[in-house]
Amino acid sequence: MNDDFPLGLLFGLLLLLICLSAFFSSSETGMMSLNRYRLSHRANSGESRAQRVTRLLSRPDRLIGVILIGNNFVNNLAASIATIIAIHFFGDVTGPAVATTLLTITILIFSEVTPKTYAAVKPERIAYPASLVLEPMLKLLYPLVWLVNAISNGLLRLLGVKSIEGDGDNLTRDELRTVVHEAGPLVPSRHQAMLVSILDLENVTVNDIMVPRHEVSGIDLDDDLDDILTQIRTSQHTRMPIFKGDINNIIGMLHLRNAARFLSRSEVTKAAIVQEAREPYFIPESTPLHTQLLNFQKQKRRIGIVVDEYGDVEGLVTLEDILEEIVGEFTTDVASQNQDIHPQEDGSHVIDGTANIRDINKSLGWQLPTDGPKTLNGLILEHLESFPDGPVCLEIRPVRMEILEVRDNLITAARCWQAVRRTTTSS
């Protein structure tokens, strides 16, 4: 090799092979680092380069096969050429060792670490242009790729991998919740809260948000007619259940806009009131909110009567109650609107025993358990495991409580405040 031209040609070819090695290395990392959901969106929008990349990623074994075939070929050829050049300068004994050392460092820096790091940070800048080369290359080398994949897939099946299709990107509900939280400024925090609330609807049932039966305002047909008419005229509710004697005997639901039809008459009868009512719509207490939301839509309803497994009325739930679980309360200050919570000057709150625990948590930002009793009275009794004879202090999670009033086997009021955890260090 006395002629300078072949040596210069070898140097040029070696440089080209190092660049090709960098191309294949960055292509592999760039393809595998792409945001699959952004890619799917662009492909569905008709973007040709995204569709091309999607086709390649649909069979990751073939994609990786063609990349590694190309990468190994150029690396081995580069090693051979580097060895020839090194032998020319350092001799037959030292040349191979020098070539191995220098080429390893060169490929590591310029063909592996640098291009792969860049591809991991900017995958779209690498993957989209690389697909222009990889797709026709896959078609050209398909017989060799098929042979290599047939052998490797057989080995994978021995290891328990039965499918190599690129379809393992389905998100669980918890993973989707994490994606929403990590969206950052791309999705406003208010919208993030709404999306997470939609995901949580499956974990909440109608008896968690219903108006309990003792708070239901309804029309008892056993009452005097004048009292019933006064109740209708002064009611703040849009819809009211009609029952006879006991709320378990619900006859129908009266929309107060229909009340004008009989209130305008000279003589009003209870039969006329019942005639304007719509048949009641009953809901099992264990129905998840996401299911009930769809049921309201199918049944063209906005309110339902919640019943237990024995058919007894537990309360009622409205469409607005479910929507509030998604978008939040329709009031600006929830605590000030909640008549069961009474803020005190010392920072504590006097809370009625019948207050709903979920309402307390939403109003005050606490984390009282909601997987058991639904009211504060029930939560305290469950914690004490007995009925208190008088004032008792207790702590449930980080909330401290003092029973203030007990009446008719019911805790009617308790003072609550969030405990401040103090950490101590030992010397």
Dist. CA 115–CA 110, nearest whole Å: 7
* Domain residue limits, the chain: 4-158, 202-327, 334-418
Dist. CA 125–CA 127, nearest whole Å: 6
Q: Among 351, 293, 344, which residue's Cα sits nearest to residue 317?
A: 293
Beta bridge partners of 78: none
Beta bridge partners of 253: 241, 278
Task: Report the percent of the chain where pLDDT is more than 90.
Answer: 37
Contact 73, 65 (CB under 8 A): no
The whole-number pLDDT of residue 166 equals 52
**3.30.465.10, 3.20.20.240, 3.30.450.90, 3.40.50.300: which CATH number matches 334-418?**
3.30.465.10
Dist. CA 233–CA 191, nearest whole Å: 39
State the angle between helix axes of 357-364 and 376-384 in degrees (0 to 180), rounded to the nearest 10. Answer: 110
Which amino acid makes up residue 371? Answer: D
Contact 409, 387 (CB under 8 A): yes
Contact 115, 26 (CB under 8 A): yes
Helices (H) then strands (E): counts for the chain: 18, 12
Where helices occur in 107-172 by DSSP H, the ranges are 114-121, 123-140, 142-158
The whole-number pLDDT of residue 327 equals 83
Q: Among 204, 220, 221, 156, which residue's Cα sits nearest to residue 370?
A: 204
CATH homologous superfamily of domain 202-327? Answer: CBS-domain (3.10.580.10)
- The tens place of each residue's pLDDT in the chain, 427 residues long, gives 444 447 888 889 999 999 999 999 999 999 999 988 888 888 888 899 999 999 999 888 889 999 999 999 999 999 999 998 888 888 888 888 998 999 999 999 999 999 999 999 999 999 999 999 999 999 999 999 999 888 888 888 888 777 666 555 667 777 777 777 777 777 787 787 788 888 888 888 898 888 888 888 899 999 999 899 999 988 888 899 999 988 999 999 999 888 888 888 878 888 889 999 999 999 999 999 999 999 999 999 999 999 998 889 999 999 988 988 888 776 544 444 567 888 988 889 999 988 888 888 888 888 888 878 888 989 998 888 888 877 888 888 889 999 998 887 788 899 999 876 544 443 3
The whole-number pLDDT of residue 335 equals 42
Phi, psi of 406 (to 5 degrees): -125, 130
The whole-number pLDDT of residue 420 equals 67
